Structure 1
């Protein structure tokens, strides 16, 4: 009886291991026609490089995972050679740094960190990471607001003095002036998800008299006008290194806006999603975009029918607020528009 139980247990373990291996192999499916090695060039990203080898480039942390040569896959430089190898039957990417020297002695290669290959094209999102903020209704209404500039000027800039009315949310003399951009409402439930603000200036509080604040503008991206809001600097961690993973399955998740204001959304456009921290969304989460199916009339019954949604691309979340998040379209196989669904990939 004991032998039978041991045999069944061993068979079960072997079967479970083989199933997990098959699932993992499916997740790490190599792209048809993939190269055996690739030389990194300036302008590459980890997403691009992994996409040359994998059908699902967002799984790159798994294919880099166990390489002793790559302690940090985010420190890859132009000229390095990425080559495909196999470990325990699984595909792995390994790194061969560029060097013409073949000595059996330690070497140090010194390069600026800003020359390292980024995870995704940061140039397309850096302004949204640094300058955009989404806050709730109460925080917006309670924030001090600009009432005017020196000598009754209604438009001011760097070096000018402005006055605001209200009570500061912190004792920090360094404050940020934001331009209210737009409110975001959930396209499904109608809930107010927050107000988007755009940073226009950095300012220093020089005087506080009751509820009147005097601020000296240190630097500005655009002119400062009345009704702009004064808030402390955003203290949340700004993330620029991303480890992608499939996002959670969330019902009624949609694209509700595009940050550049274009009508048709394509690769490397930034979009706004009606999901955020309260939905367990995190930077690095990857979602598939499904274009909403068209409605048409049945030619026989004359009924209105809804065609199924079709997959149109992949996006990765890079900035998350309480009820809203920003995502970057990494791949677009069809035209993407506001209102399209996002699902776990």
Structure 2
């Protein structure tokens, strides 16, 4: 059975002018022959100043039967945005090549090895999750092929589940000034902590003079799978796969059969959420770059969806105007506000969202001209802040 044809919802795309979409790079050739392994992003990134606008380029080509699908061997004529299908043929025709060979926007296979198996779950997911209470032969650690004993698991023999370990929790604070958006934070948690220390405790300490601190969810790392071999309390389960050693206290959650989309369609946002910022990295401490994953402070309730592409900016520094307000002089002392200059934000790179939760989303850095840091903010890639 043929794979489902790629379809692109017009609602995902901004209406832009032909001129805006066709901003070619200086090295764009007159024609380009599609090669095996190409993606529409990789092609567009070579020849378009704004590669996330590749759908508009293909939509302009009304001579192509399906402008959303191209194939190895197709000739892309870049000078005027038209596309021809091999041997110079530009009219509608019957394609003899299997649709399975079509070049998709960004197939999961092209980036799966870069993605991290992290997700955000709600409070009840951890509060009620079964957990590993022991490992066979009283071992301290377990690996694939060994039995673990799970307490609180209601399942049947043969059922499969995911092994997860809490890595942190997200919360946001009331804004410092009225009308500003809430700031989101990530608090790292040691996965070895007991359940009680992991749980977000509702109490007076969650309140500030400006309002309530809001819990957003736990970040957990899915690192393995188990299959139930014996029911009861505790149940026995065989570790069928694990990225690293299983230990007492690891949690068991339902297995997500399809954690990622089969393919990603890069597109500009309908609108960039206010104050959407980099809040965490999944595999670094200080800075990250291309092909690394970041967590961002907005999610599906803010209109973020998979494939959305944002420009990343870093806030400009505040510097001293030492020409008109020399340090140590009375003019600088009596005019502290005027002597300080805030520089404009600096462009960092582009990020594409690949996994979205209610209030947090994960993105893959597609390109960057400088390191991405915690606190950098997202902006509409078609405009400057």
Q: Deviations over 1:300-322 (max 9, x none)?
A: 23445532212222211111112
Partner of 1:320: 356
> How far off is 1:253 after superposition?
0.4
TM-score by length of 1: 0.78
Q: Deviations over 1:266-319 (max 9, x none)?
A: 222221111111111001111111112112344423445532212222211111
Mapped partners of 2:244, 2:276: distance in 1 = 34
Q: Deviations over 1:184-239 (max 9, x none)?
A: 34482454432222222221122332x42221222222211111110111255621
More relative contact order, 1 or 2 (CA 8 Å, 6+ apart): 2
Q: Deviations over 1:94-135 (max 9, x none)?
A: 44389xxxxxx9884469x5x764534856741465732221
After TM superposition, list the pairs within 5 Å mapping 1:20-99 onto structure 2. 23-65=17-59, 66-67=61-62, 69=64, 71=66, 73=68, 76-77=71-72, 79-84=73-78, 86=80, 91-96=81-86
Q: Which runs of 5+ in 1 are unaligned?
A: 1-19, 99-104
8 Å Cα contact 1:125/1:270 also seen in 2: no
8 Å Cα contact 1:290/1:311 also seen in 2: yes
8 Å Cα contact 1:143/1:169 also seen in 2: no
- Answer yes or no: is 1:276 the counterpart of 2:299: yes
Mapped partners of 1:199, 1:296: distance in 2 = 44
Taking a change above 3 Å as real, the CA distance of residues 121 and 107 of structure 1, as seen in their structure-2 partners, is: closer
Taking a change above 3 Å as real, the CA distance of residues 237 and 291 of structure 1, as seen in their structure-2 partners, is: same
Partner of 1:337: 373
Question: What RMSD over aligned residues (CA atoms) do the two structures have, in Å?
Answer: 3.3
8 Å Cα contact 1:30/1:53 also seen in 2: yes
Partner of 1:13: none
TM-score by length of 2: 0.70
- What is the aligned length? 313
3-state DSSP class of the match of 1:29?
coil
Mapped partners of 1:198, 1:131: distance in 2 = 6
Q: Which moves more between the two structures, 189-198 or 323-332?
A: 189-198
Partner of 1:222: 244
Mapped partners of 2:302, 2:16: distance in 1 = 31
8 Å Cα contact 1:277/1:323 also seen in 2: yes
